[in-house]
Amino acid sequence: MAADKNFIEKILTADKRAVARALTIVENEDNGSEDILKELYKHTGRAHRIGITGPPGAGKSTLTNCLVKLMTNKGYKVGVIAVDPTSPFTGGALLGDRIRMQEIGLLENVFIRSMATRGSLGGLCKNVVEACEIMDASGKDFILIETVGVGQSELDIAQTADSTIVVLVPESGDSVQAMKAGLMEIADIFVLNKSDREGADGVASTIRNIIHLKPPAADGWIINVLKTTGSRNEGIEELFAEILRHKEHLLESGYLSEKRKNQLNKKIRDLVNSRLEVNFWNNERRKELSDKIDMILNRKNDPYTFAEEIL
């Protein structure tokens, strides 16, 4: 089934209702989801995807809002994907989050979408990449993806985003924690938010020192540490300038196409793998497995031999 031409046309011209519907279809993997993505693919590749990650409550949403306002003031079109804004860690921030989000969502050239993680492994939900494709095709210049950096999600976001911003705050040595947790590995830009708080300068230089100890990145990018105070809209121009600098660097170094190739490679393998898996575990093979499982449990056969046999 081919996707409705009229519907596709509306997505391409950023009709908010059509974009919203397409996102829902793709997020739920409803019928026709792939047909939409197939049609849109040739219109993608323009948007710059920015991951914003960091510990709960660091100010990711605040900075996202500031960036969106700045970008739209400069005439850019912006998409926002907030992954699991109902983070169990800071449930209290949710209401404020929603209100601020709604506020920027009313801006003409802004499209906002929240996606729940739904317990999929890691923090990034399954169809974020596809949601990005829809926003990309609808003509967005920048897509901001906010996700809480705990566990696997930070790796996922680094694979999905073109530029990854890691947001830290001065308190409680969580910057050092974050370094250990691997946020260090994925940052293209470090932001020390809540710089109005005590000790910000000290923490910023600690982070700089840690960065300098690292071997330089393969693509020659030098990571900067920027200070912001999101709640006062301070440091946002500088942050945006740094994003543009990274974008430019990705283009000039050829690293962007490298990155996109890796993303495609993974995506296609995932598509094939999931289909192979579904095809393989048909009713007959499921039955075979459940018939034999007692034998394996009772040590009459072993899982390795059985796996070879069924393959």
Among 10, 48, 49, 60, binds ligand GTP (CB under 6 A): 60
Please, which residues bridge with residue 164 across strands?
A: 51
Residue 245's nearest CA partner among 152, 162, 147, 137 is 162
Gyration radius from the chain CA atoms:
22
CB 85 → ligand GTP: shortest distance, Å?
6
Using the minimum distance from each CB to ligand GTP, give the nearer residue, 160 or 229: 229
Encoding tokens for residue 121? 């492994």
Task: From the list Mg ion, ligand GTP, none, pick the one residue 59 interacts with, judged by a Cβ distance below 5 to 8 Å according to partner type.
Answer: ligand GTP
> How many angstroms from the chain centroid is the CA of residue 197?
28
By CB atoms closer than 10 A (0-12, 13-18, 19+), residue 236 is: buried
| Binding characters for ligand GTP, 188-217, by CB under 6 A (x = yes) | -----xx-xx--------------------
Using the minimum distance from each CB to ligand GTP, give the nearer residue, 79 or 85: 85
CB 269 → Mg ion: shortest distance, Å?
31
CB 94 → Mg ion: shortest distance, Å?
9
Q: Which residues contact 2 (CB under 8 A, 6 or more apart)?
A: 35, 39
Residue 37's nearest CA partner among 165, 183, 153, 135 is 135
Instruction: Determine if 101 is a binding residue for ligand GTP (CB under 6 A).
Output: no
Among 58, 168, 178, 203, binds ligand GTP (CB under 6 A): 58
CB 133 → ligand GTP: shortest distance, Å?
24
Asked if 57 and 150 count as a contact pair (C-beta separation under 8 A), the reply is: no
CB 101 → Mg ion: shortest distance, Å?
9
Helix axes 128-137, 153-160, angle to 10 degrees: 30
Residue with tokens 């796996």: 307
| Binding characters for Mg ion, 38-77, by CB under 5 A (x = yes) | ----------------------xx----------------
Q: Which residues contact 189 (CB under 8 A, 6 or more apart)?
A: 163, 164, 165, 166, 223, 224, 226, 239, 242, 243, 246
Residue with tokens 């030098």: 222
Report the alpha-carbon distance of residue 182 to residue 122 in Å, rounded. Answer: 14
Among 56, 105, 122, 182, binds ligand GTP (CB under 6 A): 56
| Binding characters for ligand GTP, 222-241, by CB under 6 A (x = yes) | -------xxx----------
Report the alpha-carbon distance of residue 57 to residue 89 in Å, rounded. Answer: 8
Which of these segments, 84-92, 137-145, 217-225, 243-251, binds ligand GTP (CB under 6 A)?
84-92
Residue with tokens 């947001």: 167
Task: From the list Mg ion, ligand GTP, none, pick the one residue 90 interacts with, judged by a Cβ distance below 5 to 8 Å according to partner type.
Answer: ligand GTP
Using the minimum distance from each CB to ligand GTP, give the nearer residue, 61 or 127: 61
| Backbone torsions φ then ψ of 189, nearest 5 degrees | -140, 130
Among 67, 145, 148, 204, binds ligand GTP (CB under 6 A): 148
Residue with tokens 């923090």: 123
- Which residues of the chain form contacts with Mg ion (CB under 5 A)? 60-61
- Which residues of the chain form contacts with ligand GTP (CB under 6 A)? 56-62, 85, 87, 90, 93, 97, 148, 193-194, 196-197, 229-231
